[in-house]
Amino acid sequence: MIWQLDLIILLIVIICGIAAISIRDLLGAAIMFGAYSFMMCLLWSIMGAVDVSFTEASVGAGVSTVFFVAAVFRTTRRTRD
Amino acid sequence: MESLATFILTKYNYWAVIILLVIGLYAMIAKKNLVKKIIGMNIFQTAIILFYVSIGTKRGATLPIIEHAYGDSAHAVHAADYINPLPHVLMLTAIVVSVATLGVALALAMKIHAQYGTLEEDEIQEKIMESEPGSTSTSG
């Protein structure tokens, strides 16, 4: 585990998480959540959990983002917080 | 004092886990929008998965794939050279469960939007109050 890379990606993960819950647009929040999941996937491949990493890349960053975008297009993009 | 500072700073993975858990819990409790609540739930789940994967790491260890496994006859496996793969396998299940709960939660949110025309929790509460004039409940 390369700790410098680990620390940088942990910071990016936290920033992406805060951005995903504070953007006032649900489509933007879905995209930020996809970025969060992809950074989490990079973090796990750094920590040596390669099986978790590619499951997260396909399921977390792929299918979850598609679900969120589909749900936002079928409902509304408007949010008040 | 020095040793306490290094003890705290070298556990930075666990500090990140705590921060992510608090972000997810805050989004689930304080945000009014249902999709924001679902995003908070997912952040909470991934924070727990990060905690378990952090438990399995070792300093100076490599990926949990045994070298010279086939063909070589009897040899001892030095367990300290490999990352502990048991938390990884457990968390593989947790990722699949999390995407299943995400699908169910988004389907429920879409049904709620079809019924009430909004995703904001307080507006849904007002519409429920309007449709039930005798009700005096103020929960939520």
B54 vs A79: CB contact, 8 Å cut-off? no
In a domain, B108, yes or no: yes
pLDDT > 90 in chain A, percent: 74
B83–A49: do the CB atoms touch at under 8 Å? yes
Domain count, chain B: 1
A77 token code pair? 């993009």
Distances (CA, A) of B69 to A49, B72, B73, B76: 20, 6, 9, 10
ipTM beyond cut 0.90: yes
C-beta separation of B42 from B98 below 8 A: yes
Does the reported pTM lie above 0.95? no
Residue B136 belongs to a domain: no
B33-88 residue pLDDT tens: 999 999 999 999 999 999 999 998 888 888 888 776 566 666 777 888 888 889 99
- Cβ within 8 Å, pair A52-B53: yes
Q: Does A27 touch chain B (CB under 8 A)?
A: no
pLDDT of residue A22: 93
Q: What CATH number is attached to the domain comprising B37?
A: 1.10.287.3510
Tell me whether residue B137 is in a domain: no
State the average pLDDT for chain B.
86
DSSP-H helix ranges across A1-81: 3-22, 26-46, 50-55, 64-74
- The residue type of B131 is S
Question: Which pair of structure tokens corresponds to residue B125?
Answer: 């509460």
Measured between CA atoms, the residue of chain A closest to residue B104 is A67
Q: Supply the range of the domain harboring residue B120.
A: 2-67+76-131
Q: What is the pLDDT of residue B71?
A: 63
Per-residue model confidence as pLDDT tens digits over A8-59: 999 999 999 999 999 999 999 999 999 999 999 999 999 888 999 999 999 9
